[in-house]
Structure 1
Amino acid sequence: MASIQVRPAEAGDHADVAALHRREWGGPYVVVHDTRYDLRELPTLVAVDGAGGFAGALVHRLADGGLEVVSVAATVPGNGAGSALLTAAEAVATAAGADRLWLVTTNDNLRALRFYQRRGLRIVGVDPGAVDRARAVKPSIPYLGEDDIPLHDELRLERRLTASGARA
């Protein structure tokens, strides 16, 4: 695994981040918890490998006392970028005085559920039919997700943070 460093996105990262968002979400827009976000308008962290190559990105927003991870993706699964990005997001949250790191994923995304839970996030809510509602805003959302699991619901995961940034 390459050494991964994380930093705020810079103007020169635009093309790599845009390509990653096209691959993951079909473009710069995501619909989550009944809200449409333009990923280009939110703060972004980028992960770079030891050679300086683009390895992933995390888009976030601070709201409601927490840091919401709106999007996180690595160029190559298992390269360490996702873990490094979540750690960096936690530092951003702590510096901003946020008491939790949270995100939403979908009911089909078993790989992500495993990844997040192994990093201390817990399922704290389920919104049945949230993805069905999101299709009214973004019709390109598929009906079948990973492993041909019908895609209907959102799962909210979070990890409480202490003032020192340690996991609570």
Structure 2
Amino acid sequence: MASIRVRQARDEDRAALTALHEREWGGPIVVVHDTRYDLCDLPALVAVDDGGACAGALVYRVDGDGLEVVSLAASAPGNGAGSALLAAAEEVAVAAGADRIWLVTTNDNLGALRFYQRRGLRIVAVDVGAADRARAVKPTIPHAGTDGIPLHDELRLARHLTPADPR
């Protein structure tokens, strides 16, 4: 496995981020918890491999609710980028004075649920029909997701952070 370094995104990362978001989400627009986000308008962390190539990216926002992971995507599963990005996001959250990190995924995304729960995030809410509502805003959201599971609901996961222990 290549060594992964994480840093804040720079202007020169724009093309790689655009390609990653196009592959993962069909472009920079994501709709979660009834909110439309343009990933280009939010801060991002970039995971870079030994050769300097983009291995993944995490787009986030911080407010009174904590640090929300709006998008997390790795160039290849199992390359360590997702774990490194999530750990770096926790550091950003603590530095910003946020007391939790949270995100939304969909009911079909079993790989993401496994990934986040193994890293200490817990399911804290289910928004029944949220993906159906999001589809009205972004019609390209599929009706069936991973493994042919019908895509209807959003699951909110969160983990509380403390400055002494950012896990």
TM-score range, shorter chain: over 0.9
Contact 2:91 2:166 in 1 (8 A): no
| 2:119 corresponds to 1:119 | yes
C-alpha distance after superposition, 1:2-33 (max 9, x if no partner): 11000000111000000000000000000000
SS in 2 for 1:6: strand
Given that 1:142 and 1:151 are in contact with CA atoms closer than 8 Å, whether structure 2 keeps it comes out as yes
Structure 2: which amino acid aligns with 1:85? L
TM-score by length of 1: 0.98
- Which string of whole-angstrom CA distances, capped at 9 and with x for unpartnered residues, describes residues 101-137 of structure 1? 0000000000000000000000000000000000110
1:58-137 to structure 2, matched below 5 A, reads 58-137=58-137
Q: Distance in 1 between matches of 2:65 and 2:121?
A: 16
Give runs of ≥4 in structure 1 deviating > 3 Å.
Answer: none
> What is the alpha-carbon root mean square deviation over aligned residues?
0.7
Counterpart Cα distance in 1 of 2:69 and 2:95: 16
Measured after TM superposition, the shift of residue 64 of structure 1 is 2.4
Residue 164 of structure 1: how far off its partner (Å) = 2.3
Gapped regions of structure 2 (runs ≥ 5): none
Q: Give the structure-2-normalised TM-score.
A: 0.98
Deviation at 1:165, TM superposition (A): 4.2
Aligned to 1:19: 19
Task: Give the letter for the 2:80 counterpart.
Answer: G
Query: In the comparison of the two structures, how many residue pairs are matched?
Result: 167
Residue in structure 2 matched with residue 152 of structure 1 by the alignment? 152
Amino acid in the other structure paired with 2:72: V
The 8 Å contact of residues 90 and 166 in structure 2, kept in 1 or not, is answered as no
Percent of pairs with identical residues: 73
Alpha-carbon distance, 1:52 to partner: 1.2
